[in-house]
Amino acid sequence: MRGLYIHIPFCKTICSYCDFPKRLADSNLFETYLNRLIEEIKSYKNELNDIISVYIGGGTPNVLPLNLLKRLFDEIKIYLDNSKENTIELNPELVTNELCELLNEYKFNRVSLGIQSFEPDSIKLLNRHHTQNDIMNAFSYLRANNITNINCDLMFGMPNTSLNNVKNDIEYVLSYNPTHISYYSLIIEEHTKLYLDIKNHKIKEPDEDLEADMYSYINSKLKEAGFKHYEVSNYAKDGYESIHNKLYWTCNEYVGVGIGASGYINGVRYSNNLGINSYLKSFIKDSEEISLEDQKKEFMMLGLRMLKGINVEEYVKRFKNAPTIDFPVINDLVSKELLKIENNQIKIPEDKFFLGNIVWREFV
């Protein structure tokens, strides 16, 4: 049971907060990159027999022209045909009916729309370029082509935003009735434009207390609207939890291809070269065997991102020891009410999710 992640690093413009492996779209590089990417996918032929999820992310995958996307889809058709969930990330302003027809033809059954905000000021601050109309068109093209499992990526805690902005974003997103919402708190990463603007006092840093209020408002509103809060930043309607992301959170294996991608196969984690020239010479930059101790820590840390937490029996089955023996700190966290043990599951109580960092750092 594995996932396949394919990275398309090209973007039309660079968002002010972006810390992902990406580069400005240069059509002269598209084919060269695609050839190399396909070569890398082929090199994992033996590891890709039991793929249950294909995820094409970026960057902005729909920056590639249709003929090149089609070429990529032809190469991975066998996986698209056999996996349960095929997701592609799309920027709304670049979604066309022809693209959605192609996605439908190749059995993409899930789309993740990079929206982040519906508010024009926030969209501008983030240096994104969609309009309300783009989002509306994207939804209607997707649905007209039978792609109805749609995730909206949203963000809160942007500088200069209030609880009212979050309320507006939620009202808009619910009006589109998506099946899944990923709602991340903005992280100001070093070396981004936003970081420099804050450092140079051009923009005020977001307020932490306000962020906490936003998070609890989001949780209650989305729950009220019928979404299940199943991971710290992810909400799904019944039956629409992301299969691909759950592979990561339950420490299952995945093959990652493309610049900056990482993978986890046969107990070895690898990460690919970030620069296009270095990637053209060699796919992998680093790889390391994950020790048993680190596997246990990852299992706890990632599992505790999910609302249902980790299953004690599953832990024992994997690691032949009880989690409370391996991590006596669990008992301390339970006494501080930052963890609870219920029906054989160890989890963070939902109202303490915003303090998740205090728990997760115990398992690093």
Among 2, 22, 130, 180, binds ligand SF4 (CB under 6 A): 22
The closest of 12, 6, 116 to 60, measured between CA atoms, is 12
217 is written with which tokens? 């408002």
Which among 8-16, 179-187, 212-220, 312-320 is the span making contact with ligand SF4, rule CB under 6 A?
8-16
Q: CA dist 96 to 62, 135, 179, 353, Å?
A: 10, 11, 21, 38
The closest of 156, 221, 154, 151 to 180, measured between CA atoms, is 151
Which among 12-20, 95-103, 187-195, 268-276 is the span making contact with ligand SF4, rule CB under 6 A?
12-20
Which among 13-21, 162-170, 283-291, 331-339 is the span making contact with ligand SF4, rule CB under 6 A?
13-21
Give yes or no for residue 11 binding ligand SF4 (CB under 6 A). Answer: yes
H or E stretch including 236? strand 234-236
Give the orientation angle of helix 132-144 with respect to helix 97-105, to 10 degrees: 40
Smallest distance, Å, CB 24 to ligand SF4? 9
- One DSSP character per residue, 341-357 reads EETTEEE--GGGGGGHH
Smallest distance, Å, CB 241 to ligand SF4? 23
Site string for ligand SF4, 179-218 (x = CB under 6 A): ----------------------------------------
How far apart, in whole angstroms, are the C-alpha atoms of residue 345 and residue 339? 10
Q: CA dist 56 to 9, 73, 168, Å?
A: 10, 10, 30
Residue type, position 126, single letter: L
Smallest distance, Å, CB 359 to ligand SF4? 28
Nearer to ligand SF4, 93 or 362 (CB): 93
Smallest distance, Å, CB 209 to ligand SF4? 26
Give the orientation angle of helix 163-175 with respect to helix 208-224, to 10 degrees: 30
Residue type, position 171, single letter: E
Site residues (CB under 6 A) for ligand SF4, limited to 81-120: 91, 114
Nearer to ligand SF4, 59 or 303 (CB): 59
- One DSSP character per residue, 90-157 reads E-GGG--HHHHHHHHHTT--EEEEEEE-S-HHHHHHTT----HHHHHHHHHHHHHTT---EEEEEEE-
Nearer to ligand SF4, 80 or 115 (CB): 115
Contact 293, 280 (CB under 8 A): no
Nearer to ligand SF4, 30 or 319 (CB): 30
Residues paired with 52 in a beta bridge: none
Give yes or no for residue 14 binding ligand SF4 (CB under 6 A). Answer: yes
Residues paired with 289 in a beta bridge: 268
Give yes or no for residue 15 binding ligand SF4 (CB under 6 A). Answer: yes
- The side-by-side arrangement of strands in the sheet containing 284-289 is 228-231, 234-236, 180-185, 150-156, 110-116, 85-90, 51-58, 2-8, 253-257, 262-265, 268-272, 284-289
Nearer to ligand SF4, 120 or 267 (CB): 120
Give yes or no for residue 225 binding ligand SF4 (CB under 6 A). Answer: no
How far apart, in whole angstroms, are the C-alpha atoms of residue 122 and residue 221? 21
Site string for ligand SF4, 37-76 (x = CB under 6 A): ---------------------xxx----------------
Nearer to ligand SF4, 181 or 346 (CB): 181
Nearer to ligand SF4, 123 or 359 (CB): 123
Nearer to ligand SF4, 2 or 128 (CB): 128
Smallest distance, Å, CB 192 to ligand SF4? 9
Give yes or no for residue 20 binding ligand SF4 (CB under 6 A). Answer: yes
Nearer to ligand SF4, 60 or 273 (CB): 60
Residues lying near ligand SF4 in the complex (CB under 6 A) are found at 11, 14-15, 18, 20, 22, 58-60, 91, 114
